[in-house]
Amino acid sequence: MKAIVLIISFLFIQSNVLAQLSAVESKLIDRVDYNNEDGLELLKEIIAINSGTMNFEGVKQVGDVLRKEFDDLGFETIWEDGSKFNRSGHLIAKHFGSEDAPKILLIGHLDTVFEKDSPFQEMTMVDENTMKAPGIADMKGGDVIMLQALRALKENNHLKDMNIWVVMTGDEEYSGSPLELSKKALIDAAKWADIAIGFENGDGNPATANISRRGSIKWELKTEGNPAHSSQIFREDVGAGAIFEASRILNAFYEELRSEEFLTFNPGMIIGGTTIEHDDVNKSGTAFGKDNVVSKEVIISGDLRGLSPEQVERVKAKMQDIVSQNRPQTKATLTFYPGYPPMAPTDGNRELLSIYSDVSEDLGQGKVVAVNPLKAGAADVSFTADFVDMAIDAVGMSGADDHTVNETGYLPKFKTQTQRAAILLLRLQGWEK
């Protein structure tokens, strides 16, 4: 008797959930579910290919597999060679439908942080629902979720009127240089688009999505001092030395800037002494110095992350002001380099999140809220922020511990995230500015 009651209760809940969807949407969900096993097999296929950013052949190989999938869906596809920015390249796929339909940019990436020499190369099942695999969450799972949503739309005859531009970059984890070339394909697509959707994993929680992302730029600090016998340090003509000057600056950064909301800055490497060598490409270096010699030079490299362009520019100016207040007989220069721009939380982004959350609730999957920007790093979607009316990210694979050898994906969410993506795209087809 109890089992019958449970079954009736389950069917009642299911009917209430389905009642939130139109007949057309319910049919679309049926197609997503029907294709789910094929999607998981495709995911396993591309996970088995190492595509660390600097494994150009592997990145291209993943791109070739996914390119065939887009070709089968009727997209126009190209492989943009990345030799001009020293990376493998990007996969670009375009589908043009009705002139009145919104223009939607879908964003993925082909590369992972796990290079060919990484000890983490194979997939294993942690349990029946959890797969441990390189790049499953960040972001091969999201790439396939995107494709599966488009496939369901195609097979239910909804794709024909849609305007979709897909950019899957080959250098999201380690950007090519110069940045204006490595991100040109993404920016060109953003200038065309009204809406941008990133299929990254965000914080891995399907109850959250990103309507903002902090930018990430590199900074480099160099200090110089007068080398002399250490017994003469602080003398008027000798001064404090390069290491004391670098210490002053770092301490001032910490004391004066660390309390600002959504701001982080991190000195990731420091080299100092009488002579130093710095290899910026391989992020390494050496130093020579003696305890009884005043240090001559220091180099420090780090990153800066902020939530808006205004915050980043204001903090950069403050950092430069701190650097300029030199200790006696020292010099210091602070250089900022191009990086990932911030994506601020706009009204348009909030509107898109609201639409996405409604989809999730109508599917019986619960509300989706904006993730705290401190819990997510920079991503390719940020390059679209200045050009589109609204953007969202982190609608991809649920998982944990990305960028580590314990990276996992939660397989039951592969289907439900695909359901969300398919219904979201269908509903956006009727969106008006």
The reply to whether 193 and 167 lie within a common domain is yes
Q: What is the mean pLDDT of residues 2-10?
A: 41
Which range marks the domain in which residue 142 is found? 2-213+344-428
Tell me phi and psi for residue 424, to 5 degrees. Answer: -60, -50
CATH number at residue 230: 3.30.70.360
Q: Are residues 178 and 30 in the same domain?
A: yes
Same domain, 160 and 308: no
Per-residue pLDDT for 7 more than 90?
Answer: no
Q: Which of 9-18, 47-56, 391-400 has the lowest mean pLDDT?
A: 9-18
**Co-location of 219 and 208 in the same domain:** no
Query: In 23-161, at which residue ranges do the beta strands (DSSP E only) sit?
Result: 76-81, 89-95, 103-109, 124-125, 130-132
Burial letters for 105-136: b for 16+ Cβ neighbours within 10 Å, e otherwise? bbbbbbbbbbbeeeebbebeeeeeebbbbbbb
On whether residue 416 sits in a domain, the answer given is yes
Q: Are residues 330 and 360 in the same domain?
A: no
pLDDT, position 433: 54
Closest by CA position to 39, among listed 423, 399, 406, 413: 413
Q: Read off the tokens for 246.
A: 């670098």
- Summarize the chain as % helix, strand, coil (round to 5): 40, 25, 35
pLDDT of residue 260: 92
pLDDT at 12: 42
Share of the chain above pLDDT 70, in %: 95
pLDDT of residue 373: 87
Residue 433 belongs to some domain of the structure: no
When pLDDT is averaged across residues 269-285 and rounded to a whole number, the result is 90
Which tokens hold the place of 101? 């339909």
**Do 331 and 353 belong together in one domain?**
no
What was the pLDDT predicted at 14? 45
Output the domain CATH number for residue 203.
Answer: 3.40.630.10
Of 425, 356, 422, nearest in space to 149 by CA: 422
84 found inside a domain: yes
Position 60 pLDDT exceeds 70:
yes
Q: Provide mean pLDDT across the span 396-405.
A: 95
Question: In terms of residues, how long is the chain?
Answer: 433
What pTM does this model have?
Answer: 0.86
pLDDT on residue 283? 78
Pairing of strands 264-273, 369-370: unpaired
- Cα–Cα distance measured from residue 95 to residue 161, given in angstroms and rounded to the nearest whole number: 9
365 and 234, same domain (yes or no): no
Q: Is residue 259 part of a domain?
A: yes
**Mean pLDDT in the chain?**
93
Whether residues 196 and 247 fall in one domain: no
Asked if 379 and 305 touch (Cβ cutoff 8 Å), the reply is no
In the predicted structure, residue 336 carries a pLDDT above the cut 70:
yes
Among 282, 304, 336, residue at a domain's last position: 336
Whether 206 and 250 share a structural domain? no
Lowest model confidence (mean pLDDT) among 98-112, 236-250, 271-285: 271-285
What is the model's pLDDT at position 375? Answer: 81
Looking at the structure, tell me whether residues 56 and 139 fall in a common domain: yes
Residue 55 has pLDDT above 80, yes or no: yes
| pLDDT above 90 coverage of the chain, percent | 90
Backbone angles phi, psi at 248, to 5 degrees: -60, -45
In a domain, 65, yes or no: yes
The verdict on residue 390 lying in a domain is yes
- The answer as to whether 407 is a domain residue is yes
Model confidence band, residue 28 (pLDDT cutoffs 50, 70, 90): very high
Could you give the number of structural domains in the chain?
2
**pLDDT tens track for 126-169:** 999 999 999 999 999 999 999 999 999 999 999 999 999 999 99
Kindly state whether residue 93 falls inside one of the protein's structural domains.
yes
Evaluate if residue 1 carries a pLDDT over 50. Answer: no
Q: Output 197 or 1, whichever has higher pLDDT.
A: 197
Q: Could you say which of 301, 336, 371 is where a domain stops?
A: 336
Same domain as 113, residue 191: yes
Residue ending a domain, among 336, 367, 400, is 336
355 and 293 together in one domain: no
